Structure 1
Amino acid sequence: MNTADLGLPVDVPSTALFTDQYELTMLRAALKAGTAGRRSVFEVFTRRLPDGRRYGVVAGTGRVLDAVENFRFDADVLRFLREKDIVDGETLDWLGRYRFSGDIWGYPEGEVYFPGSPIMRVEGTFAECVLLETVILSILNHDSAIAAAASRMSSAAGDRPLIEMGARRTHELAAVAAARSAYIGGFATTSDLAAGFRYNIPTVGTSAHAFTLLHDNERDAFRAQVDSLGAGTTLLVDTYDVAEAVRTAVEVAGPELGAVRIDSGDLLLVAHRVRQQLDELGATGTKITVTSDLDEYAIASLAAAPVDAYGVGTQLVTGSGHPTASMVYKLVARAESGEERAPLVPVAKKSSGGKTSVGGRKWAARRLDAEGYAEAEVVGTGPMPDDLAGRQLLVELVKGGEVVAREPLDAVRDRHAAARANLPLSATQLSRGEPVIPTEYAHGGSGS
């Protein structure tokens, strides 16, 4: 397996087939009808947050930019489409020349969002924009869901570091994206080496129960690990008897033992007992890391426990019960004719059933209260009110088909921390509730 198979930046494969077939059938019909070249505006938004969530987190933007750059119909892809009779010859010729040449605006990665927020806006011809629907949504829906879960866990953990360790609980490529999203949301490290290689996220890892079971006794296992990794390593102490393991660990590594890990049992009770025992043995600087199917609620319940770090796997990479952000990609405006300078007209789905949307090319701004905290997400069309000047949330990501907004992942992580800190305090509550600030529509808009 080469690095391209892992989604890594060597010989990056085309992303063009990360596409639902209906996008190609729409393209084919629009080309035949002569409407494919109409200027169009698509927006990504969600009608509601997952049940009980107070805010969403924009994540995956950097990966979207990579995907758009690599959205190319190469010879193998075109051959597949031709052999399967998915499109006709005219459409194949058009796809062979495809390069996105439009503009993309969006909330900067790491920013928070709310129902109706125009998280990303894609502008160009109908043909070139409609093809990007599936790949954009698949990235943003997954990554934003993971980042939101990570943010809640990070908030619950306070100053205690979080380790992402969910690679064994999800698809191998999703694991890399999940580690990236977790880092944005506030996790400090990952166990996934592919994520460390691809995104320069700090990696950690010591041993599992299998390493202890390999040896004739726990002392031999601990000695082998300390001899290899030094006294600052983390020893897993719940393979057999925890109290005996802690005593043996300190005897082997000395009071300079870096940390012990607890992976089962009543973590609150066991952590208190282990802390007391470590202190009695003179290992007052030895830290305690806990794992074992943690989520934000379990982390919050351990706030009073003498725990120094948390390792989170399954609940993180599955979005802590909400594996998607339920974002949609909708046409909100299109030129009234095929003329190059034809004005845009708003369009929107108006059928019943809870899936209506608001037409028009939108701006978004966050209004602040007298103390400087967010009090409303304001979304509108037309000119932005003077009192919101300087609060525009959307930034330019792609201009004329060229990416203009790449940034380091640490900058994204810092942005999220600042955005979350700017929300009302109730944003960090884990009890069920509505979005922490309302979404208001300006210029005649209405809720979606």
Structure 2
Amino acid sequence: MASTALLTDMYEFTMLSAMVEDGTVHHQAVFEAFARRLPEGRRFGLVAGLGRLVPLLEDFRFGEEEIGFLLSASAITEATADYLRQWRFTGSITALPEGSLYWPGTPLLTVRGNVGECMLLETLILSVLNHDSAIASAAARMVIAANGRPLIEMGSRRVHEEAAVAAARAAWIAGFASTSNLAAGHLHGVPVAGTAAHAATLARPTEREAFAAQIASYGTATTLLVDTYDIPTGIRTAIEVAGPELAAIRIDSGDLLVMAGEARALLDELGATGTKITVTSDLDEYVIEHLAGAPIDGYGVGTRVATGSDHPTAGMVYKLVAVNDGIGEDGAPTPLRPVAKASADKASVGGSKTVSRFPDGREVWTLDGSVPPGAVPVHIDVARDGAFLPVASAAEAREEAARSLESLPAQARRISSGTAFRISEKHEGDAR
């Protein structure tokens, strides 16, 4: 497996080189990944990406090829090259389970170790968590709006080819029923689904011939796209070719609220009472909620889920929250001291935090490692003493997400824009 160590910003290595030169690279440190705020109008965030992140971190290493490039790019000094030849991650990582809810400031992931090794992981951690959590958070709102109707993720053609696989995985974790992306099915076990495009109809002399070819290949347990020309005519032709046992039709244009109603009436008139209606065409949570009263059985969502709806990043940051000053006069490591930014609009909360939650969802951070009575610490171990541990599969993360979304009160499940919903309570030693 290729190294992932260069999936990193150059300034990580310029900082590292200065620390190698002055000896601070070995000081103990704690870094946290968190979102200062949720995207405007969002009431909750949903964590995704941990299952993708761990293998990438396991492959974070430096061979002569990587070190040679860093030297040629003047990113590191010769002393840092020697440091990297011996480098391996020796610290520990804890995180919220994939599929968990988060709010502004919630520590999603905590890295403990020496400052050099912790710092180098920043870009990769944020790249994965920001992307996947943005997708999952947007997808979760669409799942809520769909209210039990299945959603197909269909956004592969709108994003980078590898991002498309990650997006399909994140959307499925959030509750989508399937994806059109075959690599996501192969790599992550996401159920796959697909029908046909308008090109399949346009490539034949008539719509009837296109439908007949699809039925000949897949039988009636398929979905026919009926809006290439005229929707009522397309529906009549579909039922004439497939019979009333046709599984579904898809509508990809027009006023979907009106067209779905007319399509349902026509299908019933033709005796195809069991034929379902799937709609596509620039859907998001707002459109899906608008269509709630229509006789629609499923939705196909592309651009607005694969790009994280109107928020393509979760806005997470990775900050140093505690550090020590090396070895004291007694020969022992000095205690960790809290550190925090005080910049306007970018302030952080210093100190290594323990994140706990009560059964009703209240979240508490403590700086002294304590857990308030009745609460449960929510971080899981991801790595311990440099050894990475198994984390939940995508299927297990999907179950966690379903429980998380079910736990949200009605106020937090509203699709309309609102402020981040959070029940919180102060305790002695509380970091907030």
Q: 1:439 and 1:73 mapped to 2: Cα distance? A: 43
* 1:144 alignment partner, one of 133, 145, 148: 133
Q: Does 1:305 align with 2:294?
A: yes
* 1:429 alignment partner, one of 406, 409, 414: 414
Q: 1:186 and 1:385 mapped to 2: Cα distance? A: 31
Question: Residue type matched to 1:228 in 2?
Answer: S
Q: 2:420 and 2:336 mapped to 1: Cα distance? A: 32
Which runs of 5 or more residues in structure 2 are unaligned?
none
Question: Residue type matched to 2:335 in 1?
Answer: P
Q: Tell me how far 1:318 sits from its aligned partner.
A: 1.5
Please tell me whether the aligned partners of residues 366 and 431 of structure 2 are also in contact (alpha carbons under 8 angstroms).
Answer: no
* 1:419 alignment partner, one of 381, 391, 404: 404
Corresponding residue of 2:84: 95
Q: 2:423 and 2:338 mapped to 1: Cα distance? A: 24
Q: 2:131 and 2:371 mapped to 1: Cα distance? A: 34
Corresponding residue of 2:368: 382
Q: 2:23 and 2:108 mapped to 1: Cα distance? A: 30
Q: Does 1:234 align with 2:239?
A: no
Please tell me whether the aligned partners of residues 55 and 112 of structure 1 are also in contact (alpha carbons under 8 angstroms).
Answer: yes
Q: Tell me how far 1:82 sits from its aligned partner.
A: 2.0
Q: Tell me how far 1:440 sits from its aligned partner.
A: 5.0
* 2:249 alignment partner, one of 236, 247, 260: 260
Q: Tell me how far 1:446 sits from its aligned partner.
A: 6.2
Q: 1:128 and 1:37 mapped to 2: Cα distance? A: 9
Corresponding residue of 1:107: 96
Residues 293-345 of structure 1, C-alpha deviations (whole Å, 9 max, x = no match) = 00001111111111111000001112110111111100011123236543211
Q: Does 1:367 align with 2:362?
A: no
Please tell me whether the aligned partners of residues 382 and 443 of structure 1 are also in contact (alpha carbons under 8 angstroms).
Answer: no
Q: Tell me how far 1:443 sits from its aligned partner.
A: 4.4
Corresponding residue of 1:410: 395
Q: 1:267 and 1:27 mapped to 2: Cα distance? A: 55
Q: What is the TM-score of this pair, normalised by structure 1?
A: 0.93
Please tell me whether the aligned partners of residues 356 and 371 of structure 2 are also in contact (alpha carbons under 8 angstroms).
Answer: no
Q: Tell me how far 1:97 sits from its aligned partner.
A: 2.3
Residues 69-106 of structure 1, C-alpha deviations (whole Å, 9 max, x = no match) = 01012232122112222211111121122211110001
Q: 1:422 and 1:225 mapped to 2: Cα distance? A: 43
Residues 254-286 of structure 1, C-alpha deviations (whole Å, 9 max, x = no match) = 111010000000001100111111111111111
Corresponding residue of 2:380: 395
Residues 159-202 of structure 1, C-alpha deviations (whole Å, 9 max, x = no match) = 11100000001111111110011011110100011111111111
Corresponding residue of 1:164: 153
| Greater Cα offset, 67-76 or 26-35 | 67-76
| Greater Cα offset, 130-139 or 65-74 | 65-74
Q: 1:318 and 1:386 mapped to 2: Cα distance? A: 39
Q: Tell me how far 1:14 sits from its aligned partner.
A: 1.3
Please tell me whether the aligned partners of residues 371 and 377 of structure 2 are also in contact (alpha carbons under 8 angstroms).
Answer: no
Q: Does 1:346 align with 2:338?
A: yes
Two-structure CA RMSD over aligned residues (Å): 1.4
Q: SS of the residue aligned with 1:36? A: helix
Q: 1:74 and 1:237 mapped to 2: Cα distance? A: 55
Q: 1:209 and 1:251 mapped to 2: Cα distance? A: 19
Q: 1:15 and 1:383 mapped to 2: Cα distance? A: 33
Corresponding residue of 1:5: none
Number of equivalenced pairs: 429
Q: SS of the residue aligned with 1:437? A: coil
Alignment of 1:33-182 (within 5 A): 33-182=22-171
Q: SS of the residue aligned with 1:330? A: strand
Alignment of 1:194-233 (within 5 A): 194-233=183-222
Q: 1:103 and 1:286 mapped to 2: Cα distance? A: 53
Please tell me whether the aligned partners of residues 221 and 246 of structure 2 are also in contact (alpha carbons under 8 angstroms).
Answer: yes
Q: 2:431 and 2:355 mapped to 1: Cα distance? A: 14
